[in-house]
Amino acid sequence: AAVLTLLADHWFRLASGSGMEASMTAFLALALGLSLLTQPRPTPLNMAAYGALSGLLILSRPEFFVLPAILLFAPRASSPSAWLKGYAVLLFVLALVVVPWLWYALVHFGSIAPNTIALKIASSAKAPLTFVNILKALARQVFFFGTMYAPGLLAMAASAIVLLRSRRTIRPALPLAVWGLIFFLPAMYVVIQARGGEGISYRYAAPVLPLLVLAGYRLMDQGLASANRKLVSLAVTASVVWSLGAGVALSIAHTPSLKISRAYLNDTLVSYGRWLNQNTPPTALIGCYDVGAIAYYSRR
């Protein structure tokens, strides 16, 4: 059911076909999440793998710089000394992956912060963090995630309610680190959009989508563990039908917008790039907003 849901996901298919880093980042996040789910007592080697995956995630998407804080809550040995040793291994391997790239960026560009961060964090207007702006940002998130993932999100909400009411007398199906890995990006983009920065889109959400789908069905499994077979079959069937229907509906609804984007790419950006290639010297520096196609076709 989880595989069918992901294959039907309009947003994830767009991210996969965009040619950006979205699919690779999603694969790394899923690998990290699966390991957190399946290793209740990770060994030092597991912690080293967490560090390597975290470092690669930070390099592929800068927003993942919060991973060391999230992985403070990763499952591990209960004794303080073993916990400290495991986390030290994680940080050491993460540094081995990230520090050479940071050094290179500092030496060659004078900064370790990607230029796109300025666009994502806030617009030039720097809108105040008002209640109305937060509601608008939340509404965008509800549309983005709710349309495709309502069954899984409901399972997550029900699981959280049961866990809180039980006063932690039952073992949660998802470790805290997995909850953080799934929800930190959406939460971050609520704040960014509410302040006037770029809103969440399919390529920014893609890294958490496979793990979100997996976690939703995992919690559904747990919640229906004591139910009869007919109810389980009905719930899973309804969830898959919802996801397939939502994926098709989103694809149909989004097609006109994609056609406009494709026309803008081919008629405007590619044309500018080719014109610049023919009418400017090879050493020219070009300043532009949509840099990808213009840079590629102009070779400037």
- Read off the pLDDT of residues 17-50 as tens digits, 9 standing for 90 and up: 877 788 899 999 999 999 998 888 888 899 999 9
DSSP classification of residue 65: G
pLDDT of residue 127: 65
The mean of the pLDDT values for the chain is 86
> Is residue 209 within 8 Å of residue 6, measured between CB atoms?
yes
Q: What's residue 65's pLDDT?
A: 92
Element housing 271 (H / E): helix 270-279
Q: Which residue has the higher pLDDT, 94 or 81?
A: 94
Task: Decide if 151 contacts 242 (C-beta within 8 A).
Answer: yes
Which position has the higher pLDDT, 173 or 193? 193
What is the Cα–Cα distance from 36 to 25, expressed in whole angstroms? 17
- For the stretch 97-122, pLDDT in tens is 999 999 999 999 888 887 767 666 65
Q: What is the mean pLDDT of residues 155-170?
A: 74
**Is residue 104 classed exposed, middle or buried when 0-12, 13-18 and 19+ CB atoms within 10 A define those classes?**
exposed
What whole-number percentage of the chain has pLDDT above 90? 39
Cα separation, 134 vs 139, whole angstroms: 9
Residues in the chain: 300
Task: Using CB atoms within 10 Å of the CB of residue 100, give its burial: 0 to 12 exposed, 13 to 18 middle, 19+ buried.
Answer: exposed
Over residues 263-282, the pLDDT tens digits come to 999 999 999 999 999 999 99
Helix (H) or strand (E) run with residue 249 in it: helix 229-264
**Alpha carbon distance 54, 130 (integer Å):** 33
Burial class (CB in 10 A: 0-12, 13-18, 19+), 167: exposed
Tens of pLDDT, residue by residue over 48-67, are 999 999 999 999 988 899 99
* Paired tokens of 31: 């690998």
For the record, the structure tokens of 12 come out as 């994830």
